[in-house]
Amino acid sequence: MLRFLLGIAEGPFYAGVMFYLSLWFLKSERAFANSLFNAAIPISGIIGGLIANSIFAVYGDYPGWRYLFWYEGVLALVGALIAYLLLTDFPKDAKWLTKEEKEALDQAMKEESVSKMKVKWTQALASRDVILLAIVYFLGVTSLYGYSIWLPTIISNLAKVNASIASFLSIIPYVLASIALVFIARYSDRHQNHKFITFIVFLIAGLGLALSAVSASIVVLSFILFAISAIGIFSFLSPFWAVPQKALESEGAAAAIGLINAVGNLGGIAGPIIVGFLKTFTGSFLPEIYAMALFAFLAGLVMLLVRERG
C-alpha cells in the first residue's frame, strides 16, 4: 500500500517538470534546460549509491534499510520545501526578473507559439505523433530501467568481479552519461534536430549494448562498450522531450506530456521484470543485454516516424 501511494505521488513529477520547463524556456534552449534536470538522474545514482553503501556499512542490512528510507524521505521533503519557496508558476510572477526581462520573455514566447499546434487536450491525446512518442518513451524507459536497476549485477557478471567492485565500476557509466547528455542536448538545441539526435542516441545505446554482449569474452572491451551504451540510454531524455514541448501549446502540451509519461512509466515496470525473467530463464545476463539493445533500436526506429514541428 505504501509503495502504491509513493507511486501516485512520484508518477506525475517528471511530466510536471517537463511541462514546467516548457513555460520558461524557448525552443532554442529547451533541450539544454531539460538536460540540466535530467543530469540529476545519473548524478543521483552516483551520490545515492555512495550514501547507501555507507549506511549499510555502518548499520548493516537491518536496520540499514530503515535509515536509508528515512534519508530518502527527508531529502524529498527538503526538495519540496525548496520548490515551494523558490519556484513560481510563470515568469511573470518571478520576483527575481526585472519588468523588462519578463516582457521580453513573454514576447518571445508569444512569437514562438505561432508555430505550435493549437489543439484541445482531447485532440492531443488522440494525435498520431503523441501516440508514437508514447511508444518511443515506453521502449526507451524499458531499456533505461532494465539497465540502471540491474547495472551492478550485470557488471559483476561481465567483468567477473565481486559486488563491491561492481558497485564501484557502476559509477563509470553514470559519469559518462551525466557529462554526455548535457553536450548532446546543447547540440540538438543549436541545430534544432531533436528528433534525429534522439534516434542517434538510441542507436548508440543499442549498438553499445549489443556489441558488449558479443564481446563478453573480452572483459575490458565488453565493459567499455557497456559503459558507452549509457550515453545513449540516458541522453535520449532531453532531446526527446523537446519534441512535444515545442510542437504543442499549453493545454495540448500538458495532456500530451502526461500521456507520454504515463505510458513510459510502464516501461519502468517492464524493464526490470524482463531482465530478471530472462536471467532466471536462461541463467545468463547476455540475453537481457540483447533485449535492452532491441528496445533501444526499436525506440530509435519508431522515433523516425514522428513528424517534428517547430
Domain assignments of the chain as residue spans, ordered by start: 2-303
Q: Are 304 and 294 in contact (CB under 8 A)?
A: no
In this prediction, residues 202-229 reach a mean pLDDT of: 90
Domain 2-303 has CATH 1.20.1250.20: yes
pLDDT of residue 23: 85
Confidence of residue 202 (pLDDT cuts 50, 70, 90): very high
Strand pairing partners for 248? 117
In this prediction, residues 148-152 reach a mean pLDDT of: 78
DSSP classification of residue 119: -
pTM of the prediction?
0.82
Phi, psi of 117 (to 5 degrees): -75, 135
Q: Are 124 and 130 in contact (CB under 8 A)?
A: yes
What pLDDT digit, counting tens, does each position of 94-115 carry? 888 888 888 888 888 888 776 6
Return the residue matching grid coordinates 530478471. Answer: 276
Longest dimension (CA), the chain: 63
Strand pairing partners for 117? 248
Confidence of residue 9 (pLDDT cuts 50, 70, 90): confident
Indicate the burial class of 121 (C-beta count within 10 angstroms; 0-12, 13-18, 19 or more). middle
Q: How far apart are CA 16 and CA 257, in angstroms?
A: 8
DSSP classification of residue 249: -
